[in-house]
């Protein structure tokens, strides 16, 4: 199971490390290895959230996620994206931006640093909306009940997530945006840039997430009919098959996953410049890490880990909220990537521990009464 799921990741790792040695010797090998670990540690929460969405999709779209999706993730976000933001921010042509990335790496890094406020605002608001929509939804299973129970009641207010996100964006643009960090330790007023980029992140979330939700909801009636037919088939002794989302709904969920992955990758791409400003080594290291994130996503789906450890998805979404806040903070202040990664690992680790405790409590309750009893996380 492990080899089948992670086989391509192992192969890409070997090829990537060999390419690094050929490109820049053992020093390049070490840089690529460090970047790979950085990407995996920063994106573990991404894998958990992706798994929660991917498990709803049929086998065809899961394969698309692993093939076309990985090309978008590796070549799009880890190679093309840094070049595009430099071209856009410096008003350069794409060929000029590529030439700059390969021939004048210091200037290239400066331009990426100067573009960071708009990147952070866009990604931060997109991730914030994901967190808010999750935390305001009334779920049967609650992890931090003292937070989630009152917030789920507030979530009944229409458009509350969007209102809070806009308030946060306005405050961010007037505070950290007005004193944005630039290369050389300079700080300039980029309030308007932050505001526009943040609105762009909100619009992107609403369009992609809204379309995927729309088509998913349209399938509900037909799925209910299929469930009824499956129930009849089961009573007749015929095998039952699991339903999974396909068609337009899956397509827009796929787009949602790709935008989500892009938002998660912002901190990894920016953080990579703390280690190297060589775009080739950056693409190799972050690409290897992205492969493991994809494989881990599939592993979580196939193993049913999210069904067994029910608080993992909660922990991942709290990590998303923390990452959204950190992205906005980094508009003005420099935050070490280790801190970013450790916060996500800590929250997911805590949710995993809570899930284990819950499962043990359920086992004890079922053994004593023969019935399932709802048990809180205890956190």
Place 374 in a pLDDT band, splitting at 50, 70 and 90.
very low
DSSP code of 180?
A: E
What average pLDDT score do residues 226-253 get? 63
pLDDT at residue 229, as a whole number: 63
Long-range pairs of 219-226 with CB within 8 A, sequence gap ≥ 24 = 219/245, 219/247, 219/249
DSSP labels, 43-92:
HHHHHHHHHHHHTTB-HHHHHHHHTHHHHIIIIIIIIIHHHHHHHHHTT-
Place 372 in a pLDDT band, splitting at 50, 70 and 90.
very low
Considering the chain, what percentage of its residues have pLDDT values greater than 70?
78
What average pLDDT score do residues 315-319 get? 84
Q: In angstroms, rounded to a whole number, what is the distance separating the alpha carbons of residues 279 and 302?
A: 34
Q: pLDDT tens digit string along 257-277?
A: 777 777 666 656 665 665 676
pLDDT at residue 62, as a whole number: 77
Give the tokens for residue 252. 């827009």
Stronger pLDDT, 150 or 216, i.e. the higher one = 150
Q: Does position 133 have pLDDT exceeding 80, yes or no?
A: yes
Helices marked H in the chain — which ranges?
2-54, 59-66, 68-71, 81-89, 94-103, 105-135, 145-154, 160-174, 191-235, 247-272, 279-303, 305-308, 312-329, 337-369
pLDDT at residue 21, as a whole number: 93
Place 163 in a pLDDT band, splitting at 50, 70 and 90.
very high
Q: In angstroms, rounded to a whole number, what is the distance separating the alpha carbons of residues 68 and 73?
A: 9
DSSP code of 237?
A: T
Q: pLDDT tens digit string along 322-350?
A: 888 988 998 988 887 667 767 877 888 89
pLDDT at residue 267, as a whole number: 59
Place 373 in a pLDDT band, splitting at 50, 70 and 90.
very low
Average pLDDT, the chain: 78
Q: Does position 240 have pLDDT exceeding 70, yes or no?
A: no
């Amino acid at each position: 199971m492990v080899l089948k799921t992670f086989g391509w990741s192992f192969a890409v790792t070997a090829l990537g490390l060999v390419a690094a040695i050929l490109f820049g010797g053992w020093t390049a090998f070490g840089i690529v290895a460090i970047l790979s670990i950085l990407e995996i540690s920063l994106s573990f929460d991404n894998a958990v959230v992706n798994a929660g969405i991917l498990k709803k999709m049929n086998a065809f779209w899961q394969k698309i996620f692993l093939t076309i999706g990985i090309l978008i993730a590796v070549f799009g976000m880890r190679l093309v994206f840094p070049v595009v933001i430099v071209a856009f921010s410096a008003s350069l042509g794409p060929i000029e931006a590529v030439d700059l990335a390969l021939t004048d790496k210091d200037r290239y890094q400066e331009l990426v640093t100067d573009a960071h406020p708009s990147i952070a605002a866009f990604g931060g608001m997109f991730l914030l909306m994901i967190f808010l929509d999750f935390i305001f939804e009334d779920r049967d299973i609650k992890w931090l009940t003292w937070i989630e129970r009152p917030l789920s009641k507030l979530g009944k207010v229409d458009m509350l997530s969007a209102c809070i996100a806009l308030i946060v964006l306005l405050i961010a643009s007037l505070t950290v945006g007005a004193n944005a960090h630039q290369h050389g330790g300079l700080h300039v007023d980029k309030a308007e840039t932050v505001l526009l980029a943040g609105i762009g992140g909100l619009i992107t979330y609403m369009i992609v997430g809204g379309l995927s939700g729309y088509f998913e909801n349209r399938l509900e009636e037909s799925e209910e009919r299929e469930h009824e037919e499956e129930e009849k088939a089961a009573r007749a002794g015929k095998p039952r098959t699991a339903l999974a989302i396909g068609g337009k709904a899956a397509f827009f969920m796929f787009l949602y996953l790709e935008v989500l992955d892009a938002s998660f990758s912002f901190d990894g791409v920016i953080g990579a410049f703390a280690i190297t400003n060589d775009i080739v080594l950056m693409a190799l290291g972050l690409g290897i890490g992205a492969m493991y994130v994809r494989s881990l996503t599939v592993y979580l789906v196939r193993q049913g880990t999210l069904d067994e450890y029910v608080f993992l998805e909660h922990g991942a979404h709290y990590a998303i909220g923390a990452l959204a806040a950190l992205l906005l903070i980094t508009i003005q202040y420099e935050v070490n990537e280790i801190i970013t990664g450790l916060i996500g690992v800590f929250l997911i680790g805590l949710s995993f521990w809570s899930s284990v405790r819950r499962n043990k409590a359920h086992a004890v309750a079922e053994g004593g009464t023969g019935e399932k009893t709802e048990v809180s996380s205890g956190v």
